[in-house]
Chains A and B, each alone.
Chain A
Amino acid sequence: MHIPDGYLSPATCVTLYAGAAPFWWIALRRVKRALNTRLIPLLSLFSAFSFVVMMFNLPLPGGTTGHALGVGIAAIVLGPWASILAISTALLIQAIFFGDGGITALGANCFNMAIVGSLVAYGLYRVFAGHAAVTARRRVIAAGIAGYVAINAAALCAAIEFGIQPYFFHDASGTPLYAPYPLTIAIPAMMIGHLTFAGIAELILSAGVVAYLQHSNAGLLQFTAPESASEGLPRGERAKGRSLWLALAALLLLTPLGLRAVGAAWGEWSVRDFADPQARRQMAGASLQHVPPAHAPNGLQRLSSVWTAPFPDYAPAIVRNQSFGYMLSGMFGAGLIVLAGIILTGLNILIQHYQLRLHGEASVTSNAGEQNR
Chain B
Amino acid sequence: MSEIKNIINGCLKGHRRDQELLYRRYAAKLYTVCLQYSGNDEEARDVLQEGFIKIFENLVHYKHEGSFEGWIRRIIVNTALEKYRSRHNLYRVDDIDDIPEPDADPDNEDYSGLEAGDLLGIIRELPPKYRMVFNLFAIEGYSHKEISKMINISEGTSKSNLSRARVILQRRVGSYTGLRKKILNG
**Pair from one complex:** no
Which residues does A use to contact B, with CB under 8 Å? none
